[in-house]
Structure 1
Amino acid sequence: MIMKAEHPHQHIATAASAARQAQIRWRNTHFKALSRIRTPSQGNCCGRVVSKNHFFKHSRAFLWFLLCNLVMGVDRAHSQLLINVQNQGGEVIQESITSNIGEDLITLEFQKTDGTLITQVIDFRNEVQILKALVLGEEERGQSQYQVMCFATKFNKGDFISSAAMAKLRQKNPHTIRTPEEDKGRETFTMSSWVQLNRSLPITRHLQGLCAEAMDATYVRDVDLKAWAELPGSSISSLEAATEKFPDTLSTRCNEVSSLWAPCLCNLETCIGWYPCGLKYCKGKGVAGADSSGAQQQAQSTNYRCGIKTCRKCTQFTYYVRQKQQCLWDE
């Protein structure tokens, strides 16, 4: 497998070794500091005589604190992977996948060959997935700038590995071109409302910052609002207050409209060519021990995370635009 997680015994051993090295450096540094004191074996601390042995004996709490933080720090650290992915057209693009355990967040970003920049953010705490698309304008058709659209949808936790598991992944061959193990096909989302970004906190606090350039082009579905309302601390009233519904009368696709200034329903499709959609487990043997009578027990087999399953998935969004000019690609 191209990606792997550390065996749990190796994980602890690595952290413990780092802690021992830090302890040695810390001890040497403070011995040097204390050696500058002119008294041969004692120093003065807040009016009390303190020996060097007393100083280090009562510093063990700090060393235990340091050890615990090094062991847990691996799980708290941010992690980033750069993956070379071959799409279905044979072109190679580079994906950046970042995990933030403190925020329980994963960000996946890449640029398509046509210049479109795709950013996918998964907020595990609020079960929200945000897909942001920055599409370059067509200068020959009067578009001198780019457009930004954001789509917020309900996220199913089993569709992507957790931020903690993502942070533990290591890439063996970073220059290798990757292809996914499974193609999950295409999922269609019909959006029903705009999101008012200045009131979007009940959905997720990450929406306003990420989609600041999509002030009038951030979309959501009613079915997802109802699903989020079932989560603890949420309510349908606060969620609906953050949205504005599309006009009910419109049903014409943009590719059926001739005027560039007429409203219509736009389609935007994007594909995530490679992402870690699940974990793989390997079998190992635990450490043998003795029971209360002293009899030796056999080592028991254990399962540990040793790799990932990779997938590809396409998503098509259908949503309202006030002018066909905002959907020139859908023709």
Structure 2
Amino acid sequence: MKLLVLGGTVFLGRHIVNAALEAGHEVTTFNRGTISLDEQADIEKLVGDRSGDLAVLTNRKWDAVIDTCGYDPQVVARSADILKNSVDEYTFISSISVYKGFPTKGMDETAKVKSIEDGDEAEYGSLKVGCERVVRQVFGEKALIIRPGLIVGPYDPTDRFTYWPTRVSKGGLVAAPGDPEKKIQFIDVRDLAKWTIHLIENKVSGVLNATGPQEPLTMRTLLNECNAVGGNFAQFVWLSDEKVLEAGVAPWMDMPLWIPASDEEHRYFQTIDCSKAHRAGLKYSPLATTIRDTLKWDASRDPAAERKAGLRPEQESRLLALADSKAT
């Protein structure tokens, strides 16, 4: 197949390009050309800004386009319109953030989504809803909308998962948040990329949630697995939601994967129903593989570079001083 990838050099797009090449497809990327990757040396690269001149995309033909970086509905509408006669299917990478709150467990693709009228016009989830809408308007039954949860793994620019394998591997007392048995969800970027290509190959359309793992995962299990991969040098000090909040720690970014029970809007954010994706062939890597490969990639980065998520050492020290429980 001939595939056009909008984006393709940072995180998910990079892995989608790699997955497509591994599957034997011909890949063209369209992006600003600011990042050069050795593994993409032999593919066709079209350079441009999708909010500007799209002339380079005209008078061409691809089997499908994969939009990995669209978040502005007006910009996505322009690319969808200019490609409507050039591609057979438009795959848009959306987000579970499109849902209007998470009041119940196991929300599936039929759950209510946000709208611009719900609040801030610049709010990420509402913008993604707008993008989904314009793609469906232009491509109809030829539109594939994928709604991932937290995407993790090598080259993740957000550090929202990377913090845990890295911190645990350093050993010592590790501040751990909230209920150890609380369910968490995320998906390895490589699993998502391979599955996206699988869907396109099989001409799947419609809307699908995409997060994991397949079986329920708790925070305790994740941290124990991080410890096993990292050499079992860490001990965990579990602190209640109240203690963590008292220390001024921000959910999700300061303490990745942690959402306090008091956050009613996001209470079941990590219990999304992905049974439709499972029926459509979504497969998951072993948790240890995701952890190990994330650690290996993180070790290749500049250790002095600031990480975008996770506790700073002084924050963790303050948390540990508040602990009532012993290390486990």
TM-score (norm 2): 0.20
Relative to its length, the structure with more strand (as a share) is 1
Q: RCO (CA 8 Å, sep 6+): is it higher in 1 or 2?
A: 2
